[in-house]
Structure 1
Amino acid sequence: MPTQPEFGRRMRELRLRAGMSQAELAGPGLSASYVSLLEGGKRVPSPEVVAELAERLGVAPRSLHAEDTGAPKQEAGDEIAGSAGRYAPGRIDLMELLFRARKEEEEGAFDAAAEQLTAVLDRHGDGPPDDMLWEVRWSLARVHGRNGRVDESRLLLRQLLDDPYTRSSTERRERVARHLAELSLRNGDLVAGLRFAQLAWTLAEPRQEASVAVRAGTVLVNACAWSGHRRWGREVADALVARISDEVPWRQRSAAYRESARLGLLTDDYAQARTWFERALEQIDPRQDINAWAEAQYYLAIAEFLVDQGLDEQVDERVARARPVIEVLGHTSMLVHLAVLEGHLALGRGQHDRARLMADAAVDAGAWPATHEVGVNLLWTARIYRALGDTSTAAAVYRRAGELCEQGGAMHFCASAWRELAELPAAQPLMDAADGTRRPGRNPAS
């Protein structure tokens, strides 16, 4: 049974490190007010609650016990005071300002939080590097990232990566590199995303804590998938899956299986992809992460479609489950993924009018910051138009796909787009209009 106030301090520290508010940490069975009481040392959680909190924070349960961290115990309110426990008046003021800014962040007031943190740096930023100023910069980078200020977040994170205080800790280097990779991948810089993901994996993989390695490895597999590094990605995916255990939080287990499975699709190992997508789906409670549940459903539908073992009815059921959720969520990327999938499913059944409808929906859905993803989805969409014999539309979509893939750094897919565009005048429909027979080249994931 954890003791207080050590548990509450450690819980708050891990929550802030994860960039979560009390409301975000709360969920089914746990209210934001209860989370606040736990952090304030006014409640002692049961072992079941400890396990659930650890899973949501992405750490092993033992990480919530201050005595297990190897760090000296600190007095209340001193979780960022540093190993030296310095209490100079200026330092106490700095702590107060930082906590005030983090409270603004927890409440979703990102502009106010950024203003507070910027004021701290303006006042104290010229001092020597230490743990507290590092936390201020880290918090500001996180706030900018959550508020859509990508350039400011990226600049701060790169400065942190070169900071002496960051370089003195493998854990801090891995954390900054992984966030840089995730930020880059979400915002269309695949080259930087791949570079930082590789650094994070190199730092995390040798560590004993499986959750750290799994989290970093998942980002690298994602980067490999979009950049076309299939062999390398598969090697990392195999190592990643081997590290998955019950100590790894379910969200991380699910994400690791999903990204590894996508690599299986790209390397034409459809049976393995299907197995990994099934495992991903087993990890997800849709009441806690409906977004991941819907994504796993439609990707598993792709894998089952490609296995081609008479699973059409099962594929239709999965798509029918995922579609209303995705439409309610309204995420552009998921809507496009689903439209492309349904377009290829329609092609496989000779339903050409529906295939065109889905292709048009994918093109008209718009773009999102991950430029490489937009380009690759347009490549798959161009293949639908090509299969339908609409060479003029296919040519325009291929051209746009090539441009966006090049812009985002997905050079493998960029080469495919320009090659298929060059071959377009001689291309034949991939589906026979009479019998709807599937022919090579219609893999929507390759």
Structure 2
Amino acid sequence: MGSSFGVRLRQERLARNLTQSELGGALYSASYISLLENGRREPTVEIIKQLSLQLQLAPHSIEEWMQPISAEESGYLIASLYARQCWDTRDYVGAAQSAGAAAEKALASHDAVTWWNMAYLQANSLLRCGGQAEALEVLQALLGHALTSDSDALTLRTRQSMSSALLSLGRLPEAIEEATLAVEIGSGDTDEEYTAYLIAMQTLVGALAEAGDLEAAWQHCLTLAEAVTDATPSQLAGEIHWVIGNVAFIRQDVNTGLFHHAQAGRLLSPTQDLARWAQFNKATAWVRLAAGIVEPATLEAIERSELAHSVVGATRTETLEVVLLRARWLYLNGDMTGALALLESIGSERETLATHIAGDTAMLLGKVLKAQDRTEEALAAFNEAKARFTEAGATDKISQVTESIVEIESLRRSGSRSGS
């Protein structure tokens, strides 16, 4: 009995990112929870009550774990534990594969709760290793399930992840819609639900900023800023400052951007999550360059991002985005030859980038070519950028690139009149 109960208990604890000490709360020690998970103690009525409160499950659901475990159940529970282990060691490909296998086996055994947890883990693992389109399919299946529709908390988490997937694919209006629906659910009644709400709001801010709706993005940033207190976990607080700083830079509020990114740099730890540290430095460099800040600190952010991505093993998309950063740096420093070489190295691989990032790549190429007086090629690049931005719904970028197109066409008309 204890073994069956312990396996399920460990699975549910890990699904909520709880330590043994957090699960035990003020009543039970971490060592006692460990004994339960290892089958060396049998659960009492009192401990079941405590676990039901901490895990937010009905007591009768936990009592069912004491039933003998079948071979089929053992198979998917072991697969689910391996998936969690892969996630903890940042083996996101392995986590996606194991979680997917566990979800299939759980579904075949009519274990809806384990299926949900593993499908959700599979989707988020896919997001971490560049499988956004596949993740979106899994998340859509989750959103249509009764477990999700009956729970605001699960709906919020699912829609937030869907928004992240859509944002990574450059489908900005849909990303905004999903994140808005997630945020509208509210902050919930528990710390876990409140954290999910804040993450959803960060995703919404990112999507709004990419779409060019900076006023709406900034209003949500003000809400996020008020949410940070001394009790906020450092990683979460750091990511909130990161998002706020991004929007401030894009709004040309450089001092505010510098302040919030300094706070983020202090709170985010490369030892805790090197991949996120790499992404933070990439984002820092990106928005600094967008604001025209060409100084040593910007180059340092690019170099930290390059180094961290090389250590953790970047996806191809992340690698291309870092190449684009370096190309933008060279362009702003007047090295058109170097910038062009990097942009040409991306070439047809622009198709692997999010639609709005592919648009940024084409727009930068147009600027480099224009600086080299290759106006016809520049015009073609600007038109490609406009098409990409239109597809993505990036209205602010459409206006920017349209100005470049109009300028070149005006010069062409002036040249034609002079020639005649």
Same fold judged by TM-score > 0.5? yes
Residue deviations 1:13-51, cap 9 Å, x none?
343246x9x9xxxxxxxxxxxxx99974489xxxxxxxx
Match of 1:72 in 2: 49
Letter of the 1:312 partner, please give it: E
Deviation at 1:196, TM superposition (A): 1.3
Residues 81, 352 of structure 1: alpha-carbon distance in 2 compared, 3 angstrom cutoff: closer
Residues 340, 161 of structure 1: alpha-carbon distance in 2 compared, 3 angstrom cutoff: closer
Residues 260, 368 of structure 1: alpha-carbon distance in 2 compared, 3 angstrom cutoff: farther
Match of 1:285, SS state, is: coil
Letter of the 2:229 partner, please give it: S
Deviation at 1:219, TM superposition (A): 1.0
Match of 1:211 in 2: 195
The residue correspondences of 1:235-250 to structure 2 (distance < 5 A) are: 235-250=219-234
Distance in 2, Cα, partners of 1:318 & 1:424: 34
Task: Note if 1:312 corresponds to 2:292.
Answer: no
Match of 2:27 in 1: none
Match of 1:407 in 2: 391
Match of 1:226 in 2: 210
Distance in 1, Cα, partners of 2:295 & 2:222: 29
Distance in 2, Cα, partners of 1:38 & 1:390: 72
Match of 1:435 in 2: none
Deviation at 1:231, TM superposition (A): 0.9
Distance in 2, Cα, partners of 1:345 & 1:206: 43
**Equivalent residues of 2:221, 2:244 under 8 A apart:** yes
Distance in 2, Cα, partners of 1:230 & 1:88: 50
Deviation at 1:243, TM superposition (A): 0.8
User: Structure 2: which 5+ residue stretches go unaligned?
Assistant: 20-29, 38-46, 87-93, 413-420
Paired positions, count: 373
Match of 1:251 in 2: 235
Task: Note if 1:84 corresponds to 2:60.
Answer: yes
Deviation at 1:256, TM superposition (A): 2.0
Task: Note if 1:136 corresponds to 2:122.
Answer: no
Residues 413, 349 of structure 1: alpha-carbon distance in 2 compared, 3 angstrom cutoff: closer
Task: Note if 1:117 corresponds to 2:93.
Answer: no
**Equivalent residues of 2:80, 2:98 under 8 A apart:** no
Task: Note if 1:105 corresponds to 2:105.
Answer: no
Distance in 1, Cα, partners of 2:188 & 2:57: 29
Letter of the 1:87 partner, please give it: E
Deviation at 1:239, TM superposition (A): 0.9
User: Structure 1: which 5+ residue stretches go unaligned?
Assistant: 1-5, 23-35, 44-69, 125-131, 429-446
Of residues 167, 171, 174, the one that matches 2:153 is: 171
Distance in 1, Cα, partners of 2:359 & 2:314: 20
Provide the alpha-carbon RMSD of the alignment. Answer: 4.3
Match of 1:438 in 2: none
Deviation at 1:410, TM superposition (A): 3.0
Deviation at 1:254, TM superposition (A): 2.4
- Structure with higher helix content: 2
Match of 2:136 in 1: 154
Residues 340, 271 of structure 1: alpha-carbon distance in 2 compared, 3 angstrom cutoff: farther
Residues 287, 203 of structure 1: alpha-carbon distance in 2 compared, 3 angstrom cutoff: same
**Equivalent residues of 2:159, 2:181 under 8 A apart:** yes
**Equivalent residues of 2:120, 2:142 under 8 A apart:** no
Match of 2:352, SS state, is: coil
Letter of the 1:73 partner, please give it: Q
Residues 250, 109 of structure 1: alpha-carbon distance in 2 compared, 3 angstrom cutoff: closer
Distance in 2, Cα, partners of 1:411 & 1:249: 35
Deviation at 1:371, TM superposition (A): 2.7
Residues 114, 201 of structure 1: alpha-carbon distance in 2 compared, 3 angstrom cutoff: same
Length-normalised TM-score, structure 2:
0.71
